Amino acid sequence: MGMTMSQKILAAHAGLKEVKAGQLINAKLDLVLANDITGPVAIKEFEKAGAKKVFDKNKVVLVMDHFAPNKDIKSAEQCKICRSFAADKEILNFFDVGKMGIEHALLPEKGLVGAGDLVIGADSHTCTYGALGAFSTGVGSTDMCAGMMSGEAWFKVPAAMKFVLKGKPAKYICGKDIILHIIGLIGVDGALYRSMEFAGDGIKYLNIDDRFTICNMAIEAGAKNGIFPVDGVTREYLQGRYTGEIKEYAADPDAVYDKVYEIDLSALKPTVSFPHLPENAKTEWGNIKIDQVVIGSCTNGHISDLRMAAEILKGRKIANGVRAIIIPATNEIYLQALKEGLIEQFIGAGAVVSTPTCGPCLGGYMGILAAGERCVSTTNRNFVGRMGHVTSEIYLASPYVAAASAVTGRLTSPAEVME
């Protein structure tokens, strides 16, 4: 019986010729990740276990991104725990203020993740790196601790679902619309503990940032991971960044999938997930007044996302009564946006631009919502109270839709603004 891309990566790291869905394995890790929220929990468990050193100081990564720069004393203490641990254990990949970015944009940018790698992270959106042909998945802080100590983790080999992407997306359609459409199609538990594997000729129309966005939100369908095959787009991104060995895995022709979906990308329309679940995806919206727009996060804070927003905002102003917050995902992206004149354009339109941070995505800071307020956001979750008050509402959308909505003050299609 053939194996999927994910199963092949797991088999290779477990030292096995083959694995099957449901099989329990122990596998060697290429990278172990935590942030300023999950890291301190793992560090405390590490110390309780009496461990003296991490398995490989090059393969443990700590990124201060959720509440950094620190918003209060508690968040400062969290970062201090990580900072002290990194110094004591000589962890080379410790990213603090001035060097940090949003972790799931930062690690690929720094060349720390490559095709064929096996990565765990104490953050649910670690599945982002499947865009590079890696098997990456989120784990709890105790599994993170075990990974730091041993360089290994146990897995139940996931079954898989195949999404065949066909056709070329229309103008103003991007990776965010694709994944919101898919989650709307299968539901928030539609891929529960399965691998979401993407295939089809439509992939060639997706840039690397589109793929990051799609894999990032695989967890919002309940998936264990999302993964794209390695192609020219992947290789071009990794060239000059990733110094490890690129290992390309392709699914066998007889690989088994629980379900196969065909998605006609040319038929997709701008898609928005209404409160309070990502599966509540709609392409018709009515007249919904908004109070805030957030463009950024590990999902849509890449340079192509900022370019989308800038295309809509060029020569326009943010509507009165709307707060527009734009957050480049890394310092490199911030600098690129500066060079291209995007930051000046955003500020000129009436938006505020933040240093890289997860900030408002998880209701941390830099954009908390008051009672009854509505936000159009390029983030990945719109659960009750996710971004502030329990009566506030989050509408998940692409940078195109978010920027267009910022201009009109209501949920708006980009084509309406650009006509």
- What pLDDT band is residue 1 in, cutting at 50, 70 and 90? confident
Token digits of residue 214: 């799609």
User: What does the pLDDT average to over 109-124?
Assistant: 96
Question: How many domains, in total, are found in the chain?
Answer: 2
Same domain, 193 and 338: no
DSSP category for residue 330? S
Neighbours of 298 (CB within 10 A): 26
Of residues 236, 240, 239, 218, the one with CA closest to residue 227: 218
Same domain, 76 and 172: yes
Please give the Cα distance from 330 to 356 (Å, whole number).
5
Same domain, 60 and 205: yes
- Identify the domain boundary among 214, 236, 264: 264
Neighbours of 259 (CB within 10 A): 13
Phi and psi torsions of 397, nearest 5°: -155, 170
Neighbours of 311 (CB within 10 A): 16
Same domain, 82 and 199: yes
Digit-coded pLDDT (tens) for 41-74: 999 999 999 999 999 999 999 999 999 899 999 9
- H or E stretch at 70: none
Same domain, 171 and 103: yes
**pTM for this one?**
0.94
Digit-coded pLDDT (tens) for 321-368: 999 999 999 999 999 999 999 999 999 999 999 999 998 988 889 999
Same domain, 217 and 362: no
Same domain, 248 and 205: yes
- Cα 9 to chain center, whole Å? 21
Q: Is the dihedral of CA 287, 292, 293, 298 positive or negative?
A: negative
Same domain, 246 and 300: no
Helices within 217-362 (DSSP H only): 232-238, 297-300, 303-313, 331-339, 342-349
Same domain, 251 and 302: no
Statement: residue 394 has pLDDT above 90: yes
Average pLDDT of the chain is: 95
Given a contact cutoff of 8 angstroms between Cβ atoms, the answer to whether 25 and 14 are in contact is: yes
- What pLDDT band is residue 37 in, cutting at 50, 70 and 90? very high
Same domain, 308 and 256: no
Q: What is the pLDDT of residue 178?
A: 97
Please give the Cα distance from 45 to 193 (Å, whole number).
26
Q: What is the pLDDT of residue 312?
A: 97
- What pLDDT band is residue 26 in, cutting at 50, 70 and 90? very high
- CATH code assigned at 13: 3.30.499.10
Digit-coded pLDDT (tens) for 191-206: 999 999 999 999 999 9
Counts for the chain of helices (H) and strands (E), in that order: 14, 18
Statement: residue 139 has pLDDT above 80: yes
- What pLDDT band is residue 225 in, cutting at 50, 70 and 90? very high
Digit-coded pLDDT (tens) for 297-315: 999 999 999 999 999 999 9
Token digits of residue 107: 């690690």
Digit-coded pLDDT (tens) for 169-180: 999 999 999 999
User: What does the pLDDT average to over 142-158?
Assistant: 95
Give the CA diameter of the chain: 64
- Identify the domain boundary among 264, 283, 315: 264
Domain limits at 345?
Answer: 272-418
Statement: residue 245 has pLDDT above 90: no
Q: Is the dihedral of CA 80, 82, 85, 89 positive or negative?
A: negative
Same domain, 28 and 124: yes
Residues 6+ apart with CB under 8 A from 36: 62, 63, 64, 65, 66, 67, 68, 75, 78, 79, 82
Same domain, 250 and 375: no
Statement: residue 419 has pLDDT above 90: no
Please give the Cα distance from 65 to 49 (Å, whole number).
26
Helices within 110-254 (DSSP H only): 141-150, 175-186, 208-216, 232-238
Digit-coded pLDDT (tens) for 396-411: 999 999 999 999 999 9
- Identify the domain boundary among 207, 236, 264: 264
State which amino acid sits at residue 162.
K
